[in-house]
Amino acid sequence: MRDALHAEFVHDETIPHETRQNEELLERLREELLARPSDCDALKQAGGLLFEMGRFEEAAAHLAKAVSSGRLNQDAHFDTLMQLADCYEELQKWDSARKYWQAASALSPDKAQPHVRLGTLAFQRGQLDQAERLFRVAGKLQEDCGEAYGGLAMICQHRGDHSGAFEMYLKCLELDTDNLVALLGLFQTSCRMGSFSKIIHYLEVYLENNPSDASVLFCLASLYAREGRLWRARQAVRKVLKEAPEKQDAKNLLAELEEALGDEDSGVDARL
């Protein structure tokens, strides 16, 4: 009976192919773990798969068993500690998340990522000095760590240091042009400073890879309008409304642009 039900589940066409594959792999891993409950590789693999499936409690249980086995090599041990911490972050068990990020940092003190995650947690708790110290350590450990610059930018922005935030967001985006948090942070900072040329460039680069992101498209349309590039602004805001037809801010901006441009496109601004 069980095998028949399992076969019916596997061949149900309403279930996405990737989900069926994950369930099948998970079933095989569980069978392996019935035979060898302390198989750390199977525990780690099952934990990672459960994490991808959003089943964070189960993932944490498997990953914790893999860690406690004491049989993982250093790299695998580090990766498992980081993913275990991420499980607890998803479950909003912050103290447990911090515990395992700290364990990962102690295991591999030359790795930047635990410091970034601990810095982010400190920032979320309003512990700005501690967060700054952790982000700076991460930046020293890994010079191309965009997340460290992004973290420092958020701290500068929170303190009202818009010039410092602008510089740090730029460094972050130079390393990772798809970092949406840094992109929107730079947009906010640019609006405060009245300096838009650099943010327009990074918005355009981001949209080359993410052309249907309505939030970023709207930011770009707004900046084009501020810069007097009305025809481009209208193009961008029309794309916004194609992706998000109920967005009232976009409707209002389009109405303003249509009024400014009139019915003719002959007045296309020269700064295209």
Asked whether residue 55 is domain-assigned, the answer is yes
Alpha-carbon distance 15 to 120, whole Å? Answer: 36
The answer to whether residues 156 and 125 touch, using CB atoms and an 8 Å cutoff, is: no
Asked whether residue 211 is domain-assigned, the answer is no
Mean pLDDT over 171-198 rounds to 89
Asked whether residue 99 is domain-assigned, the answer is yes
pTM: 0.77
The answer to whether residues 43 and 69 touch, using CB atoms and an 8 Å cutoff, is: yes
For residue 86, name the pLDDT band (cuts at 50, 70, 90).
very high
pLDDT of residue 46: 93
E strand residue ranges, 100-257? none
Asked whether residue 27 is domain-assigned, the answer is yes
266 compared with 76, residue with greater pLDDT? 76
Alpha-carbon distance 10 to 26, whole Å? Answer: 12
Residue 269 has pLDDT above 80, yes or no: no
Total number of domains constituting the chain? 1
Asked whether residue 71 is domain-assigned, the answer is yes
Mean pLDDT over 98-102 rounds to 97
pLDDT of residue 19: 75
> In which domain, by residue range, is 14 found?
1-109
Asked whether residue 189 is domain-assigned, the answer is no
Asked whether residue 271 is domain-assigned, the answer is no
Asked whether residue 178 is domain-assigned, the answer is no
Find the CATH number of the domain harbouring 98: 1.25.40.10
Q: What is the per-residue pLDDT across 122-177, written as a single tens digit (0 to 9) for each?
A: 999 999 999 999 999 999 999 999 999 999 999 999 999 999 999 999 999 999 98
